[in-house]
Amino acid sequence: MPVSDAHRIQTSDLDTPPRLLLGPGPSNAHPRVLRALSNRQVGHLDPTFIHLMNEVQSLLKYAWQTENPVTIPVSGTGSAAMEAAVANTVESGDSVLVGCNGYFGERMVDMASRYGASVTRMEAAWGTAFDLETIRTAMESCRPQVLGLVHAETSTGARQPLEGVRDLCDEFDCLLIIDTVTSLGGVELFLDEWGVDAAYSGTQKCLSCPPGLGPLTLGPRVLERLEKRSRPVPNWYLDMSLVGKYWGSERTYHHTAPINMNYGLREALRLIAEEDLEARWERHRTNANLLWDGLADLGLSCHVDKEIRLPSLTTVRVPDGVDSGQVARTLLTEYNIEIAGGLGALAGKVWRVGLMGFNSRPENVMLLLAALKNVLHR
């Protein structure tokens, strides 16, 4: 048999364009994070790495404002952390209530259904949030064991208020899961104060780290339920009764962790601690307001009411007669600026603009506004 010529294929050095990533994610990684990623590898059970694991867990707890014992980066993207949250809280036959006011509520419905839950959809218009009375009415109807809400809906730019939701969950003996993919590290989060039982996120948004890890936190009520399951978690890789032994005091081997990605996450979380959470949240608010005022000056409006608008992600209504895709393509090809179009019900109707983590800076806002003005005025 002749030897393949595949080895003779000529390739060039990788040379990626200098994009400014102002879409819904990923955001540009902080230079210190990129340097941390290039550190020498050690083994995933090396004492140096175990010490780093401890630091990552402590820093994640700070960012989420929680003391949950299981607070770890899942080896996978944010969607893996999302599935881990669902897999470890939902058993076949459970009643699960999910708030569907955007694309990622729909994804939570899909995941819970695949684990055999009886899922009830609590629906609202894309770009709005649920009030306590609406949640109560839905809970009275389906009596859920699990309530899933998207705190930061990446498809709409809407923030779900969580004050008072824990009281409802206590009344109905219900676990509370929230999606913080676009809020962790950029928007106020007080998991313990709000009584959140499980939350998940991604590294590539307000943490300004490349995608590849999925922060996950599970509270005491989830762990108690995990111990009492009638059957094992049907997803071996994401079973926290197994993974937790690697991230717990035992440090028992489960899988080979992505070592360098954890280097990067540690540095990203160190940056948050150095800046201070409240200062970081205020920076995101300040730059979001600068963007919103600038959009208004261009005659553009935001899709979400200001009271529940995310400072990390803004949905901008596309003016009548404007090709949303062409504007985004022109910004990318002529200005190296990435923004994104709408998803689902908002496809073609909005642009999604992210100001996340390292990218939430006034010079980026002014650059985008100037470029957008030039493109729209053609």
Taking residues 162-170, report their average pLDDT.
98
Q: Are residues 59 and 75 in the same domain?
A: yes
- Domain end, chosen from 273, 305, 324, is at 273
What DSSP letter does each residue of 186-230 carry, written as one string?
A: TS---HHHHT-SEEE--SSSTT---S-EEEEEE-HHHHHHHHT-S
What's the whole-number mean pLDDT along residues 67-92? 97
Phi, psi of 317 (to 5 degrees): -70, 135
Tens digits of per-residue pLDDT, 310-342? Answer: 999 999 999 999 999 999 999 999 999 999 999
Cβ contact 196:176 at 8 Å: yes
Q: From 273, 294, 311, give the residue that closes a domain.
A: 273
CATH number at residue 139: 3.40.640.10
Per the domain annotation, does 6 fall within a domain?
Answer: no
- For residue 307, the model assigns a pLDDT of 98
Q: Which residues contact 143 (CB under 8 A, 6 or more apart)?
A: 95, 172
Look at residue 3 in the predicted model and tell me its pLDDT. Answer: 60
Residues 41 and 164 in one domain: yes
pLDDT tens for 118-137 read 999 999 999 999 999 999 99
- The CA-based angle 25-278-100, given to 5 degrees, is 45
Question: Residue range 83-92: average pLDDT?
Answer: 97
Return all residues near 318 (Cβ < 8 A) that are at least 6 apart: 324, 327, 348, 349, 350, 351
Residues 6 or more apart whose CB falls under 8 angstroms from that of 22 comprise 337, 338, 339, 353, 354, 355, 359, 364, 368
The stretch 167-181 carries a mean pLDDT of 98
Whether the per-residue pLDDT at 288 is higher than 90: the answer is yes
* Residue 297 structure tokens: 């000056």
pLDDT at 2: 63
Question: Can you give the residue range of the structural domain that contains 104?
Answer: 31-273
The reply to whether 349 and 227 lie within a common domain is no
Q: With 0-12 CB in 10 A as exposed, 13-18 as middle and 19+ as buried, what is 331? A: buried
In a domain, 10, yes or no: no
User: Residue 116 has which token pair?
Assistant: 């055999």
Q: What percent of the chain has pLDDT over 90?
A: 96
Average pLDDT over residues 147-160: 98
Q: Say yes or no: 206 and 265 in one domain.
A: yes
What is the reported pLDDT for 11?
Answer: 83
pLDDT of residue 67 exceeding 90: yes
289 lies in the same domain as 349: yes
pLDDT given at position 5? 63
What's the mean pLDDT in 132-148? Answer: 98
- Three-state SS for 291-339 is HHHHHHHCCCCECCCHHHECCCEEEEECCCCCCHHHHHHHHHHHHCEEC
DSSP secondary structure string for all residues of 155-185? TTTEE---TTHHHHHHHTT-EEEEE-TTTTT
Looking at the domain assignment, is residue 310 inside a domain? yes
Q: Is the pLDDT of residue 294 over 80?
A: yes
> In this predicted structure, what is the pLDDT of residue 6?
58
In this structure, is residue 1 part of a structural domain? Answer: no
* Per-residue pLDDT at 7 exceeds 70: no
* Residue of 321, 304, 365, 307 lying closest to 126 (CA atoms): 304
Regarding whether 188 and 46 lie in a shared domain, the answer is yes
Q: So what's the pLDDT on residue 253? A: 94
Measured from the Cβ of residue 11, the count of other Cβ atoms closer than 10 Å reads 5
Which pLDDT band holds residue 347 (cuts at 50, 70, 90)? very high
Rg (alpha carbons) of the chain, rounded to whole number:
21
Same domain, 240 and 326: no
66 and 105 fall within a common domain? yes
What does the mean pLDDT of the chain come to? Answer: 96
Q: Which of 236, 254, 273 is the last residue of a domain?
A: 273
* Pairwise CA distance, residues 58 & 199, whole Å: 16
Count of domains for the chain: 2
Over the stretch 14-35, which tens digit does the pLDDT of each residue have?
999 999 999 999 999 999 999 9
Q: What is the predicted pLDDT for the residue at 193?
A: 98
pLDDT at 54 over 80: yes
pLDDT at 378: 82
For residues 260 and 286, state if they share a domain.
no
Are residue 283 and residue 267 in the same domain, yes or no?
A: no
Q: Is residue 126 part of a domain?
A: yes
- 136, containing H or E segment: helix 132-142
